[in-house]
Amino acid sequence: MHPAPSVIIFTTCSGLGFGLLIWLGLGYPAVTGWVAFAFFTIAYVLAVGGLLASTFHLGRPERAPKAFTQWRTSWLSREAWCSLAALLTMALYGGGLVFLDTRWSGLGLLGAAASLATVLTTSMIYTQLRTVPRWHTPLTPALFLSLSLAGGALLAGQTVIAIWLLAFSGIVQIAHWMRGDGALNASGTNIASATGLGNIGTVRAFEPPHTGTNYLLSEFVYVVGRKHAAKLRVISFALMIALPIALLLLPFNHLFAALAVLSHLVGVAASRWLFFAQAEHVLGLYYGKR
């Protein structure tokens, strides 16, 4: 799949922003006043910034509000509702903390649940696609949720829990990579089932339908840069998991904490790039590619 920058920025930043909102909603850290204002600003910049970035990949962004209508079947529509609910609830809850020095804990729990649901719905947009076997697994929501919770804990300064959550996310990430590498072969979809010609003999794509490229090839058959995938996995894992854990284990220092956050952010972005770039859409089989 084409790793569009808008979608990578969206899933990376929103995941982190909603992760922070989850912890703030639960009251970790239990801040009020200007300190709370600073925390909520960071969370909203990341969450809303990510959502705005996601509209850049739309063909007709001016019609985006229509995406609220089909929540009965569409995970994308459900994501729109969850994100709106989370942002509105947490704005009210944050308003109480910042301006009234009051913590409405029930509202905070509700906002945390909506934030968690937003990350879940984002991950389900990818998980539901049987056409991309690498994504079509419960490990995808597990990866998105654990990374969001870990990154949120990191931003919220919850050092101990952040270390455990980062370690857990690391395990899920490795499992997702390992399963993903064999997912297309295991899916049972291949050029023989795609063409229905497998019972005659070995099928080979002889000639594509056109001499130039097309939307399908540029959107779904992204092969450029996959050769660096192994190196990028190591870099991504080091920045996303290993370095932040090492920095958190050192005696607490604001510089180290900021470095841990920055390293985690870059690492997650690299992991998301791989998430898209390495994903094989079954449509590529018609072109003899994967």
Partner 1 sequence: MTQLPEKTDRKLGLVIDLDTCVGCHACVISCKGWNTENYGAPLSDQDPYGDASGTFLNRVHSYEVQPEQGVAQLIHFPKSCLHCQDAPCVTVCPTGASYKRVEDGIVLVNESDCIGCGLCAWACPYGARELDQAAGVMKKCTLCVDRIYNDTLPQEDRVPACVRTCPAGARHFGDFADPDSNVSRLTAERGGMDLMPEQGTAPVNKYLPPRPKDQIAKDIDVLAPLLAPVDENPGGFLGWLDKALEKL
Residues that bind partner 1 (CB under 8 A): 1, 57-61, 63-64, 66-70, 72-77, 80, 125, 128-132, 187-189, 191, 193-197, 199-216, 219-220, 281-283, 286-287
CB of 73 or CB of 160, closer to partner 1: 73
CB of 69 or CB of 105, closer to partner 1: 69
DSSP secondary structure string for all residues of 147-186: HHHHHHHHHTT-HHHHHHHHHHHHHHHHHHHHHHHTHHHH
Query: Which of 81, 83, 82, 97 has its CA nearest to residue 40?
Result: 97
How far is CA 107 from each of CA 17, 19, 79, 203, rounded to the nearest angstrom? 18, 17, 20, 59
Q: How far is the CB of 7 from partner 1 (least distance, A)?
A: 10
CB of 175 or CB of 194, closer to partner 1: 194
Q: How far is the CB of 224 from partner 1 (least distance, A)?
A: 16
Strand, coil or helix: 32 = coil
Q: How far is the CB of 182 from partner 1 (least distance, A)?
A: 16
Q: What is the dihedral of CA 255, 15, 41, 80, to 10 degrees?
A: 170
CB of 186 or CB of 258, closer to partner 1: 186
Query: Which of 262, 35, 38, 228 has its CA nearest to residue 151?
Result: 262
CB of 34 or CB of 206, closer to partner 1: 206
Q: How far is the CB of 170 from partner 1 (least distance, A)?
A: 28
Please name the amino acid found at residue 116.
L
Cα distance between residue 47 and residue 41, in whole Å: 10
Q: How many other C-beta atoms lie within 10 A of the C-beta of residue 204? A: 7
Q: How far is the CB of 285 from partner 1 (least distance, A)?
A: 9
Q: How far is the CB of 138 from partner 1 (least distance, A)?
A: 18
CB of 3 or CB of 157, closer to partner 1: 3
Query: Burial letters for 53-65: b for 16+ Cβ neighbours within 10 Å, e otherwise?
Result: bbeeeeeeeeeee
- Do residues 139 and 192 touch, judged by C-beta distance below 8 A? no
Query: Which of 133, 22, 128, 38 has its CA nearest to residue 75?
Result: 128
CB of 195 or CB of 253, closer to partner 1: 195
CB of 118 or CB of 146, closer to partner 1: 118
Q: Is the peptide bond before 133 cis (omega within 30 degrees of 0)?
A: no
Cα distance between residue 192 and residue 282, in whole Å: 12
